[in-house]
Structure 1
């Protein structure tokens, strides 16, 4: 007979440690300890989302990003958005474990010059030396609570991003635009430049305050990552 749910969640202490203990066979700088936890094998410096560290071993120093470390332009964008991306430096040697609200962790390796745009709430970590820039979606900013911003990250190097539950990736082809809910859009890449699409039929059907009224329209060639969850609530229309 297969084990019952109760048996599957009941352990001796040794069994529990064996089932949940850290893995010692890490090979890369970024490794999945489990679907919800990123292990960073640190030997130098790595950047991560401020507040994402849940534990570490070794000699590691944590420092919040200085206001001008990414340049005056990034500082001004943070002031305008009242959000921006708050990063933290991890320096030293050891293992650091990162997580964000129980979300699933996705690791991507970017080639030299390759770019990806990631929602500012969903970027968990990136290797030192990678270029990143905060990009405001001005046409959407007035609709999203606190503003909607994304981060353009350029390779080479690895990044880790998070999604609520399992993501789905939609391909975008020339002449075949893809429409997404801004609050469920995690990342995109390629020659895509999203703009705002207003669906008046949905506005009439669902009411003026519905988030589905406003959508992102992606045109060009590339792909878009979506999560089955609306992470940012839309403001009520006045």
Structure 2
């Protein structure tokens, strides 16, 4: 008689399986496997395990420049990145959030600073602080602009939803639920006074991100509370 809950059965059910998907591979919906051959950038603290010879380095001042360092100081720990260099298998996760892999092909993408998990080191990146909203939401919001070609892994609480933006139909989102958007879009912040009165002055829902043009925006069914809002 087969033992349903034996250690052997547990190992069989949960052990890693090489799916042959290349550099970035979804081991599970919430665990990213990277078949490391050189270097990638990842969210600091996202490593859960690795095999082989891998070294981790936090971004240095000279590598990223004074401008990025200054912006990172303003935005808190959400955008802290590390290099993972070497050869082996690297496993990344972020608080059990669902992981999506995107391949950029001379594209640009904006990702909320809390929702970036990893990307190839040849992709150009920069931290953008939304200063216009700083007076509305405590400290403002920040995101990372990614540009070029290569693989990117982003995270979301639960299943992400992608909304198409057209010239005739703009999309409005809650900033705390916005994960990413296409690089050709520039969000505008609008305040709904009636909604603010209805919900209360402290509610983030009185502030909305308005996307106009042709592109897409990714949202999650969850309102993230950021460090700068907690401390504000």
Q: Shorter-chain TM-score: what band?
A: over 0.9
Query: 2:151 aligned with 1:165, yes or no?
Result: no
Larger % of helix: which?
A: 2
Partner in structure 2 of residue 71 of structure 1: 65
Partner in structure 2 of residue 138 of structure 1: 131
Q: Equivalent of 1:214, from 190, 207, 210?
A: 207
Structure 1 residue 120 displacement after superposition: 0.4
CA 1:32–1:202: 2 relative to 1, 3 Å: same
Structure 1 residue 15 displacement after superposition: 1.5
Secondary structure of 2:63 counterpart: coil
Structure 1 residue 83 displacement after superposition: 4.3
Superposition TM-score, scaled by structure 2 size: 0.92
Q: Equivalent of 2:175, from 182, 185, 188?
A: 182
Separation in 2 of the partners of 1:191 and 1:117?
9
Q: Assess if the C-alpha contact under 8 Å between 1:104 and 1:165 holds in 2.
A: yes
Structure 1 residue 207 displacement after superposition: 1.4
CA 1:144–1:101: 2 relative to 1, 3 Å: farther
Superposition TM-score, scaled by structure 1 size: 0.90
Separation in 1 of the partners of 2:73 and 2:183?
29
Q: Which runs of 5+ in 1 are unaligned?
A: 1-9
Structure 1 residue 84 displacement after superposition: 5.9
CA 1:94–1:115: 2 relative to 1, 3 Å: same
Separation in 2 of the partners of 1:11 and 1:72?
55
Q: Equivalent of 2:117, from 118, 124, 148?
A: 124
Deviations 1:120-153 (A, max 9, x none): 0000000011100101111223333443100000
Partner in structure 1 of residue 12 of structure 2: 18
Separation in 1 of the partners of 2:29 and 2:136?
32
Separation in 1 of the partners of 2:74 and 2:96?
29
Structure 1 residue 63 displacement after superposition: 1.1
Separation in 1 of the partners of 2:57 and 2:214?
39
Separation in 1 of the partners of 2:42 and 2:112?
14
Deviations 1:165-224 (A, max 9, x none): 000000000031110000000000052110111111111111111111001011111000
Bigger shift: 175-184 or 16-25?
A: 16-25
Partner in structure 2 of residue 231 of structure 1: 224
- For 1:196-211, what aligned pairs fall within 5 Å after superposition? 196-211=189-204
Task: State the number of aligned residues.
Answer: 227
Secondary structure of 1:25 counterpart: coil
Separation in 1 of the partners of 2:77 and 2:51?
30
